[in-house]
Chains A and B, each alone.
Chain A
């Protein structure tokens, strides 16, 4: 099976991350922004897994007993867990927000400023 070169992963991750950033910066809908944040987190996850696999394959060729490079995959799980927790809190906030102002437009949120 031909191995996909690491560049592709990097570009994919970069594309996803950029989409996330641009989404966060330009959109006003809180749900969309939330999704974009998730997108960025997952772009990082993709990258972590890709690098992890790359390192592991390289190390595995030398020593079959090694676990080198697999730690990054642990991080991915952590990130997923944290993201899941964040989603619960974040969605709860958005729900409360909607209940109060009947909108999820973040521009309403700058009232703290005044």
Chain B
């Protein structure tokens, strides 16, 4: 199968080229076939690859294609690495990617055909870059994919480019990502100078020879890259704004795949991070703070996609918490389950938005349960999964993360529990406001409410199924010995740090799990009282709720301490340095030349006599010079 691995990313690239170049003359049907077909083909190949990877006795494939950069001692190969970790990501990306492509064919059908084709071209390009990111066998190939997904994210957030605020959101996402990318790039350079290579195999083999300070520096820089891409404090504000893009894009890029690139990168370099405890602590602190902060903001958002966006940021924070405490498997596990239920929730939200004619305010929804039965059921499953109710997927992964955090420090555990409770609260607030109670929109909207077409409900049902069973690959030792399939699957790639350290007694685990579940159930009941049938409206303007509704004023803070000064410096540079100084030098040179030319012009009078005179004087001067200053 290793012969065909190159097809996995190549097919979406081909799809991108066909749809991108043929957008003005391909028919809609053809765009659908190309756009979805390449993804499904990739998915099938990924499945076959996965089957071989999961076979016993598998050793990682390193597939070399060509030399990317070869100069002196520097040798960067364009080569792929297929092992357990990348195979798992391949499945998630191509699988969810295919579902979202299918979903998009219905969701985007109002678009004009050229734009429709452009949309699919971008989506395919995104999948190509993402696959490159996870398949690369060195940090440079990963970085190429990393930049590619950033670009596609930008293009898709700004897909409706007629709207200035969408464009601003796209720019914000791009700039924030650039800040992170700089960190990643510096880390690559540092690794290159430290280890003389950026291939995973070389770097990880030599990692233990490097001083801890260097490793800490490298890992922190890598984490800065992850911060930008995976929306962590302080670079998270782009993700909620990125909801300006079409909803399937939010599901694919800003929930299921691209934003987990940072987690992939850290899980991939777990060897480095394990050797740098300071970076690990930093990651867990940043992770849990992001999780908490985003969860509090999500409590008071009224835009259905904004709630999900902050929820994504919060869940990503939990994943980083897992990575920070060394539970890499748990982090990757949560990436997977989160991809299922968050894609499901976003697509469900898309279905609601579709039914509501692009209304996103949950205050104007309500009572959609009867009108959108499939969306309702699947959305409920998504909510249960993200809230961590057994046996849904989120329960297993979140529980594993929390236990790993408890092994590190009880404070992290307590904060994690708070995040989980808030997650349950805001998700069910969203659920009840949208699906129960009475409809609060206009009559016209009520009249047009309809269940989405099969192309949209089918992905919802598949994802709902995955959200139910997806967690069963990681059943903790508590329920059954050796049932954690994912951990044993990933064990060749990922150092299992947490397992060595802490072992809780089973009775304590049962108790903690029971308490957590009770709390979550109480939170859900409480939410149903608040936002269910008797919903009266809530305070989102004054006091602390208002503070939360305004997202802790982080955007305003950034505006004041970063954007404004930069704008001021830019305008200063433009007005004074550029207009006066640089233009002055340039114009001065021009004027100087013109002036001297005007003076010199007088010499060339056309009168031979004056030429001869000057010649004579010059010759005489030369003679005198020769005579008195012997050269």
Contacts and interface: CB of A to CB of B under 8 A. Distances in A.
A113 B607 CA distance: 10
A21 interface: yes
Interface string B593-624: 00000000000001111001100100000000
Contact of A113 (B606, B609, B612, B616): B606
B370 to A, nearest CB: 99
Nearest to A27: B609
Contact of B607 (A21, A24, A26, A110): A110
A110 B612 contact: no
Contacts of A101: none
A24 B606 contact: no
A3 interface: no
B409 to A, nearest CB: 95
Nearest to A114: B606
Contact of A21 (B606, B608, B616): B616
B170 to A, nearest CB: 65
Interface string B6-26: 000000000000000000000
Contacts of B613: 25
Interface string A1-36: 000000000000000000001001110000000000
A106 B616 CA distance: 20
A110 B606 CA distance: 8
A25 B613 CA distance: 7
A107 to B, nearest CB: 9
Nearest to A112: B606
* Interface residues of chain A: helix, strand, loop or mixed (majority): helix
Interface residues of A, number: 7
Number of chain B interface residues as a range: under 10
B615 to A, nearest CB: 10
A25 B609 contact: yes
Contacts of A113: 606
A106 B612 CA distance: 15
A106 B607 CA distance: 10
Contacts of B612: 21, 24-25
A21 B616 CA distance: 8
Nearest to A17: B616
Contacts of B616: 21, 25
A95 B416 CA distance: 113
B601 to A, nearest CB: 14
Contacts of B609: 24-26
A27 B616 CA distance: 16
A26 B607 CA distance: 12
A113 B613 CA distance: 19
A24 B606 CA distance: 16
Nearest to B616: A21
Contacts of A106: 608
Nearest to B613: A25
A110 B613 CA distance: 17
A25 B612 CA distance: 7
B612 to A, nearest CB: 6
A92 to B, nearest CB: 20
A18 B256 CA distance: 97
B607 to A, nearest CB: 7
B73 to A, nearest CB: 66
Contacts of A24: 609, 612
A66 to B, nearest CB: 30
Contacts of A21: 612, 616
A26 B609 CA distance: 8
Interface in A75-114: 106, 110, 113
Nearest to A106: B608
B611 to A, nearest CB: 10
Interface of B: 606-609, 612-613, 616
Given A24-B609, A25-B613, A113-B606, 10 more contacts: A21-B612, A21-B616, A24-B612, A25-B609, A25-B612, A25-B616, A26-B609, A106-B608, A110-B606, A110-B607
6 contacts: A21-B616, A25-B609, A26-B609, A106-B608, A110-B606, A110-B607
What are the 5 A-B residue pairs with the smallest beta carbon separation, nearest first?
A113-B606, A25-B609, A25-B613, A21-B616, A25-B612
